[in-house]
Structure 1
């Protein structure tokens, strides 16, 4: 396996990602859309999720495909970023047709960043506009770190962010991940230098420092984030994707497998105070043999672990930050 040309989820042909953020708000939204509707499902393993229209992604529900997926900051307020993406899709004539009505289908998930030091004294909910802006600017290239839904994200010890990664399988199938990493747990080992996801790094995509050789990792659960706020301002929300043709049920299994990536990159993961959620999608690019499905799920978990580390690696400092960036501590 090797990374795709851009090492982004948009190495999967037809996918586009847009980001919008408000630096004073210390929050933002990320929209993933495609040239045409795509098959998708979802799996939740955190204890405190915030979602919109995820029920329709269950394999037994009648909706066959959706038009976009949204990741957003803002807790419950951030769910309105989906409305902005819906507005953009409607303006483009995209959506599910029912008679002469067009209904864009846009599931989404949020993370909690309301206490991260940003100005949250808005009169009108800003997230609909952020969602529309993210949709309007979607392209096959985008930045990582302090951007989009990752703008105000924090891990236990350092700033979180938006990350992405890809892998090409031996048969040419492409797999990718996109994540807004804001977990309860730490993404770096004690000392803030090495990443828990170091064994899965491709090249030097997050510094090339290698694994922490210290024994007993995972026992020290010190958290600057908890000390600065409370233990409830969290969640890692992600999208994994492939160009292999999958059913909704197979997408759901891909999402289940991809959660291993959160556990590999974050300690602890899937806590009662996280809303850890993974969407999985297929662009139906080509048929694959049944024996490829396990490898696709495994590749999705590797991409997600790497995307989480890349999110933290690329985070940049901003005025009023509550936590340092990894780059601040490892200059």
Structure 2
């Protein structure tokens, strides 16, 4: 187990970024077409090809999911991923043609200090190609991929991931680009809201404060409407229907609420995709499906914290500090 979403058999991840632009793309490739759905609970989502993920729509399986910076400009990234997958013969077959099915979500990182004056050709199509071609089982967290330019209210955001195995033996994983309007740490201290879910000191091992004060509960917010969003994918190796994937996506949003204060605001575009690679049989009953749903939420909470914990600050004037810049000296060794 790598403690990454790629522990789920059939899932690969590729990252690409442009350091001068201070933005990037993460491509989550499914080695075989897989059923998937999504849930958008933030007030300002930015998406591509998500309507077909509803359980009543015709397309039953997808080939990849893209998470990207760049706000609406970043929606070009899915086209780059599609171009690579089409060359590989992947996609929905229509006569002798194939159309890769690649839903996408974007986050706003246009005001983070990078050079966004790209003229008529934003870099995201090419970043999508690079991310797709880089897809593998091992990938970096923090200031990488879709999390490269991400921020939170108080600290640098980033790309996070985590995985687990349910009591019934299903492998569940999550990947997230954390660009929240709120904060993932408690008050002005180093502890994470998701501390109860931490495993093996994966984000510092500091646990929770003895008491959460009223001051710690005071909202810490950044930016304005449309300047945020936490976007994520959860996956499992069970054989699920699109409707069941929808239910997993809805439940996994609890992980954002456990890890970020506040989540699901009118200022966020919080989106979670859920995919099932079908390498293991379908859950025997609703209880086994519930195990997957809870594991997805817990993994997502951990992934959020790992994304911020592993991030490095951007090299621009006024850039937010990384967690390790402020608190790294007090980490607990597992």
How far, CA to CA, are the matches of 2:235 and 2:29 in structure 1? 12
Partner of 2:206: 209
| Aligned partner of residue 257 in structure 2, secondary structure | helix
How do 1:165-176 and structure 2 match up within 5 A?
A: 165-176=162-173
- In the TM superposition, what whole-angstrom CA distance separates every residue of 1:152-185 from its partner, at most 9, and x where no partner exists? 0001100000000001112321000000000011
Gaps of 5+ in 2: 329-334
Q: Tell me the CA shift for residue 283 of structure 1.
A: 0.3
Check if 1:247 corresponds to 2:241.
yes
Q: Tell me the CA shift for residue 196 of structure 1.
A: 0.4
| Aligned partner of residue 163 in structure 1, secondary structure | strand
Further displaced range: 180-189 or 320-329: 320-329
Aligned partner (choices 120, 140, 144) of residue 141 of structure 2: 144
Gaps of 5+ in 1: none
How far, CA to CA, are the matches of 1:84 and 1:55 in structure 2? 20
CA contact (8 A) 2:187 2:217 kept: no
Check if 1:114 corresponds to 2:133.
no
- In the TM superposition, what whole-angstrom CA distance separates every residue of 1:183-222 from its partner, at most 9, and x where no partner exists? 0110001123110000110010000000122233563113
Further displaced range: 189-198 or 257-266: 189-198
Partner of 1:285: 279
Q: How does the TM-score come out when normalised to structure 2?
A: 0.95
Task: Name the Cα RMSD after superposition.
Answer: 1.1
How far, CA to CA, are the matches of 1:47 and 1:318 in structure 2? 27
Q: Tell me the CA shift for residue 8 of structure 1.
A: 0.3
Q: How does the TM-score come out when normalised to structure 1?
A: 0.95
How far, CA to CA, are the matches of 1:204 and 1:231 in structure 2? 34
Q: Which runs of 4+ in 1 moved over 6 A?
A: none
- In the TM superposition, what whole-angstrom CA distance separates every residue of 1:80-135 from its partner, at most 9, and x where no partner exists? 00000000101111111100111111000000001111100002110000001000
Q: Tell me the CA shift for residue 231 of structure 1.
A: 5.2
- In the TM superposition, what whole-angstrom CA distance separates every residue of 1:41-77 from its partner, at most 9, and x where no partner exists? 0001000000000000000001010000000000000
